[in-house]
Chains A and B, each alone.
Chain A
């Protein structure tokens, strides 16, 4: 049979990294949340902060394990599936990822032991310190990997020698033009996503009439944080888009499905981008909306897709729809958070069933927005893997398609089992609730989890 190794390698990478990013998104946010709870516990000595911190730490442990094993796969995939990419961009991307291991992975994975198993063994201060170390580690990890990733979008500070990229100026490489925007946008996305998870769990307990102290704290913290950060994310995303317009105009054209650069761009609320006919069907649009956002001028012009040959364009519908999913969720989050903040201000947040009932179901929306956002970014870069340096089709390993097909099937199978069980366990931990933590504790003197699960 004929398997296309490039397509399969792309599918495998997209599948594994989309799975991976779910967990970092949550662990970056959750570790910071747990560290905050612990500091508040130290500060106020109110026990329910302690119970909350322990409760979320259990969920954190399960998510972190899944993040680690799925990330391990990725770090080897650069060699197994993208060996030509490694040979050509390894001089640049390799050291950046090396720094990620040295300054981030070791920090978080080592102090994780104290965070998970040190509750009653060590002084509180040490435990708080370990939580902060883990939270910092996850953020530093994002710094380096996003730097590597951004360099692939907006390469800088390098020279090409014999077809291989070699470093010239490391500061320019690390702080490449799209990096600050992408890092800010991703870090904010992680915190925002987590705050909606916290908010949803708080709503769930409140409606069930359980753990009321904890539930109210979670709701307040979730709503309050999101009300500040969701609008901020709109602003960061907008700035990010302007930066992309400067460096990757065709990606923007695909996001807006803007075909003809000689006329101002409409903002398509909905449309079906027809790649063959080079036009949009069934469009509902805001006339000149895109031009207004991107150039601050309703008559402003920006490049259209037709300005490059069809082979130089990314897949327009994928980028276009993924972008709309992210935007939709972004605006929904702003609305939901501001409404919650308003109810809180009026002292009605804990009674408004019409708000709480839907709120308990929104825990997943941030994750969808993150995957949609990455799809925009990565699919919009095609046909390049490192923009202007190396095409995706030239980056793949000399490995037969059949091997990639088999391993892809294995990954789908294994991830399917492992991660659905993981999510099932997380859900059960949430159902069990924070109270059981306190009960299970004294027996063995050091149980953050009971020795046998029945107790």
Chain B
């Protein structure tokens, strides 16, 4: 009976990562778009749309890391050393952009510096996450149950491509969020940016979808063998449809929420594509969720708490988003 507990855990971690990517995605995206704002006043507005939420959003990353350690310690112990440098780069980026939320208001002369730190830190963290994702897909060398590869194994053109893709994707999430939460110049600019970003996201998704089956036979086999091909073919079709709806809604000034929902859906579809490509490997191409699972007693103990707490957490998270609902009007801020 233990085999499905590891599966449930894989599902829970999948949810945590998806929540993280969407929630912190739009708030890192605000950082990535920061340099494009023209005035200090616009930057204030942009930051105000996420200031009450960023810490909660980032906690999903802690849950992802902590959950991996708790439920799949072997995978954690292999992957973290394998991605040592990009993980640390991500952390350093998150340090700068995290403190910028508070320091930017406290600083006077240093405000410009914290604007830069917020933007650069967000972009660095997003890029590092993309690189880690790419490096995971291309596979990790395992020897005697530990990481056996070199220190720069992660650094391939494919991984850097994924890095760029995530930066652009987060920027799209951020831009569509701004359209929903602001008006005036900020929203207008976000809509203009979103069109370009959407186009870029589609291009990146296309490249990654072609590159992975060409470069990794196991992925080609997963998609193109029968009957898989029939089951999975809706994924690219639905993706194309969502992209089209997103494009339309960007052209229609009255649509303020739909673009954001479409951007989330695009992320979700890309994510399910990756899951299809790699399941059940947690450390591709060698170790599966079962081979890296924690002792059953550990998995069950934390699972009980997780299944109990997750609905509560989602409940109060939703409550706080609801409390801060609506647009930030010109001239106001939570600060």
Q: Chain A interface (Cβ within 8 Å of chain B)?
A: 61-62, 64-66, 68-70, 72-73, 75-76, 78-80, 83-84, 86-87, 90-95, 97-103, 105-107, 109-114, 116-118, 121-122, 161, 164, 166-168, 170, 397-400, 403, 407, 410-411, 414, 418, 421-422, 425, 428-429, 444-454
CB closest chain-A residue, reference B293: A91
CB distance B77 to A86 under 8 Å?
A: yes
Contacts of A449 in B (CB 8 A): 105, 335
Q: Which of A68, A76, A118, A454 interacts with B58 by CB under 8 Å?
A: A68
Q: How far is the CB of B311 from chain A (nearest CB, A)?
A: 11
Q: Does B213 contact A (CB under 8 A)?
A: no
Q: A75-B66, A80-B87, A398-B147 are in contact. Are A101 and B59 (CB under 8 A)?
A: yes
Q: Does B62 contact A (CB under 8 A)?
A: yes
- Can you identify 20 A-B contacts, CB atoms within 8 angstroms? A61-B102, A72-B58, A72-B94, A75-B62, A76-B91, A80-B81, A87-B74, A87-B146, A90-B74, A90-B298, A98-B71, A110-B320, A111-B316, A113-B52, A122-B323, A170-B301, A397-B81, A418-B99, A448-B335, A453-B107
Q: Does B96 contact A (CB under 8 A)?
A: yes
Complex CA gap A105/B65 in Å reads 13
Q: A102-B306, A113-B52 are in contact. Are A410 and B88 (CB under 8 A)?
A: yes
Q: How far is the CB of A85 from chain B (nearest CB, A)?
A: 8
Dominant SS among interface residues on chain A:
helix
Contacts of A113 in B (CB 8 A): 51-53, 55-56, 320, 324
CB distance A83 to B80 under 8 Å?
A: yes
Contacts of A421 in B (CB 8 A): 99, 103, 107, 110
Q: A65-B99, A86-B73 are in contact. Are A450 and B335 (CB under 8 A)?
A: yes
Q: How far is the CB of A24 from chain B (nearest CB, A)?
A: 14
CB distance B66 to A79 under 8 Å?
A: no
CB distance A94 to B73 under 8 Å?
A: yes
> Which of B44, B52, B298 has the most CB atoms of chain A within a 10 A radius of its CB?
B298
CB distance B335 to A79 under 8 Å?
A: no
Q: How far is the CB of B266 from chain A (nearest CB, A)?
A: 26
CB distance A68 to B298 under 8 Å?
A: no
Q: Does B313 contact A (CB under 8 A)?
A: yes
Q: Does B295 contact A (CB under 8 A)?
A: yes
Q: Does B61 contact A (CB under 8 A)?
A: yes
CB distance A69 to B94 under 8 Å?
A: yes
Interface residue stretch chosen among B162-170, B188-196, B326-334? B326-334
Q: Does B211 contact A (CB under 8 A)?
A: no
Q: Which of A73, A403, A445 interacts with B91 by CB under 8 Å?
A: A73
Q: A69-B95, A113-B324, A166-B295 are in contact. Are A90 and B69 (CB under 8 A)?
A: yes
> Which of B70, B96, B110, B313 has the most CB atoms of chain A within a 10 A radius of its CB?
B70
